[in-house]
Structure 1
């Protein structure tokens, strides 16, 4: 038998592509090399599954800094609001949390995965798990997929939804890149994004701030001229190897891109009081200092950052813990204030791709038709999800991109496969 559509990869994008193709009436085969489908969905959002984000389209695309503008076309066919409607139609009630993130009311990622599997079953999609693809032979009338067990599959259209190289234990090991290359596609440089950063600074090496988390701080990546490339205001964490946490993950791709240009180390600047200017912050503490001459400086600044960081800043600026405000030198006061607004960590690398949440780079979007996700290099070939050179921040943006591109690729692959 020759299938109308064969989808390779059972992640969020592949599941959506198989569903969209079957909804058009196509005969669909879904191949997954692992034992389970939707593994990445099941662990996303800390096991609660952040299925999409309900911010306006413009905002969603802004949160996909890696070629997000490419998604304007697919979004005109199927967007984040359609994703919400789709899951509610499947009986998965969704609720909105901070920053527009949408989660199942049950807080169980498994409910999202199960709803997709039930629907695939209703649509009679043939699923083969633990089935590995060896190679793809592209033909004129149909394509042949050679499996590692020696058998082969004939299909009119192929959708490659094999993901990137991040989170490899879910099966994303970069298999699809070689099949894209066979079809004449170029793969842009792959790099880790949404990834913790490493530092050799002595205070990191000595674990002085390990485990200290800072709330709602401004984290900036600076270029080699000391100019700010990007700033994100969120929480962050000092670790035994460097820095991590939401703000750092968002900034990480900009640091990684600097490393790729040969700029090392990259300065990361932390502003613990981003809503106040340097002048405002200095004025506030100048007044506190003058009003309480007998109070120690340590107790005066207590609460602005966790105590371990205060102790480190006292040590760094050679201020003793029992130093009173009356005896605090002007220089030490200003140096301490400067550290609250411009605390620097020099990062020299990121954790490896395996530890990243998202892959940067992939199949060049210049070689893919935006409103159909069809290959410009090979007929009856489609791409969707993280294999494409599209990457966003965490917060439901990458899953949105995966589900939207999956839906559009599935629909178009079906039409072409049945024509």
Structure 2
């Protein structure tokens, strides 16, 4: 028997949650996954530990989803981070809170989360078929309604179909953008794609000569500027110098903004500045140095900067080797502290979208009803997860959007299919 109430395409984070919520609302559900195993990307999240959500305020959560986070207000009214925590803990998966509100299973294993979701699907008698790619969603174009799907092996009918097939990031996990074609066939438009949460590329001299390669910085403030010098975004976290440019949490969070600015402004590069000692003012740094003015500049800066970066900055501003601080003239002192508080970087792009963990762009949100996640173009068609134009920072924000949109799509798809 190949007829179901709800068909979910994609056995990832949002797809499994959608299937579960359709099932617990009484629907007969089929989940189709082209990979041979479910949750391939899920088990890679959080460094393999799976940061299931972020226990922050509603406003803070939206702020950390810069890619259209405000669309989620109606979704979060129905399924929010506390609901995610309750979902897992009520099913025996104990969670722990770490820094910045990040929630992890106490097992420190993403497999715990995936196995819980699979167990729940089994509990609700959801039919799970793996290794069977969907080739086409079947539409009744006259009635403007979903009819079902055709896979590489069979056809299945349903009153509701949920596209949870992921974006373009991490294609090795099966996220190859299939859902975008099906959305277009239903009359949807797509917003421009761009890489986000990816390392940035640079031709700065110290990148090209690899003199700072591998140097890591703790808790620095990275700012991205437009051509008028206005701050586009700033993040205070760790970063690292690489052989191709810059990476680390602060850089990854800035990357989507950099790519959007490059696309929209058509500039060839973007300027960044790093405050290497964000917890101290220039006046504090000067006073500290004056208290140690008999010491060499090298030794004074060592309390804040890695040696390689310290030596580079001293060379840039003209501090002579082995000079004591008292031997450095006033103008060079000023240049030194300004450079430490505003260390300049330039970037010309990022690694490709396939190297990122999140896709920027996707199905246009103006064509989706936020309260239900149903298409405004095709009745019975629903979306959830990364296929839609929503993206957030790492730290439990993207997965929150995936779980929440999945739960809401599954619930409303079930209600609609059972009431029609």
Would the TM-score normalized by the shorter structure come out above 0.5?
yes
**TM superposition shift of 1:158:** 0.3
1:18 maps to 19
2:172 maps to 169
- Counterparts in 2 of 1:81 and 1:297: CA distance versus 1, 3 Å: same
**TM superposition shift of 1:129:** 0.4
User: What SS does structure 2 have at the residue aligned with 1:188?
Assistant: coil
2:67 maps to 66
2:242 maps to 239
The Cα offsets for residues 249-288 of structure 1, whole Å up to 9 and x where unpaired, read as: 1111111111102122101110011122333333332443
The Cα offsets for residues 188-209 of structure 1, whole Å up to 9 and x where unpaired, read as: 0011111110000111011111
**TM superposition shift of 1:61:** 1.2
Gaps of 5+ in 1: none
2:36 maps to 35
1:86 maps to 87
Q: Is the 8 A contact 1:3 1:29 kept in 2?
A: yes
User: What SS does structure 1 have at the residue aligned with 2:254?
Assistant: helix
**Residue of 263, 279, 303 corresponding to 1:275:** 279
Q: Is the 8 A contact 2:237 2:249 kept in 1?
A: yes
**TM superposition shift of 1:400:** 0.3
The Cα offsets for residues 162-185 of structure 1, whole Å up to 9 and x where unpaired, read as: 111111111111110010011111
The Cα offsets for residues 368-391 of structure 1, whole Å up to 9 and x where unpaired, read as: 111110101110000000111111
User: What SS does structure 1 have at the residue aligned with 2:336?
Assistant: helix
Q: Does 1:53 align with 2:54?
A: yes
User: What SS does structure 2 have at the residue aligned with 1:77?
Assistant: coil
2:113 maps to 112
**TM superposition shift of 1:4:** 0.3
Q: Does 1:296 align with 2:315?
A: no
Q: Is the 8 A contact 2:138 2:146 kept in 1?
A: no
Q: Does 1:318 align with 2:322?
A: no
Superposition TM-score, scaled by structure 2 size = 0.96
**TM superposition shift of 1:56:** 1.5
Q: Does 1:195 align with 2:198?
A: yes
**TM superposition shift of 1:228:** 1.1
2:389 maps to 389
- Counterparts in 2 of 1:238 and 1:182: CA distance versus 1, 3 Å: same
Gaps of 5+ in 2: none
Rounded Cα–Cα distance in structure 1 between residues aligned with 2:327 and 2:193: 54
**TM superposition shift of 1:91:** 0.9
User: What SS does structure 1 have at the residue aligned with 2:41?
Assistant: helix
Q: Does 1:284 align with 2:288?
A: yes
Rounded Cα–Cα distance in structure 1 between residues aligned with 2:350 and 2:394: 17
**Greater displacement, 8-17 / 306-315:** 306-315
The Cα offsets for residues 198-224 of structure 1, whole Å up to 9 and x where unpaired, read as: 000111011111111111111000001
Rounded Cα–Cα distance in structure 2 between residues aligned with 1:58 and 1:297: 44
Rounded Cα–Cα distance in structure 2 between residues aligned with 1:265 and 1:286: 38
Rounded Cα–Cα distance in structure 2 between residues aligned with 1:78 and 1:296: 58
**TM superposition shift of 1:300:** 1.8
1:306 maps to 306
**Greater displacement, 334-343 / 15-24:** 334-343
Matched pairs, number: 414
**TM superposition shift of 1:329:** 2.1
Q: Is the 8 A contact 2:275 2:341 kept in 1?
A: yes
Q: Does 1:228 align with 2:231?
A: yes
Rounded Cα–Cα distance in structure 1 between residues aligned with 2:50 and 2:70: 25
**TM superposition shift of 1:142:** 5.0
**TM superposition shift of 1:47:** 0.5
Rounded Cα–Cα distance in structure 2 between residues aligned with 1:142 and 1:364: 19
The Cα offsets for residues 18-45 of structure 1, whole Å up to 9 and x where unpaired, read as: 0000001111000001111111110100
Q: Is the 8 A contact 1:2 1:156 kept in 2?
A: no
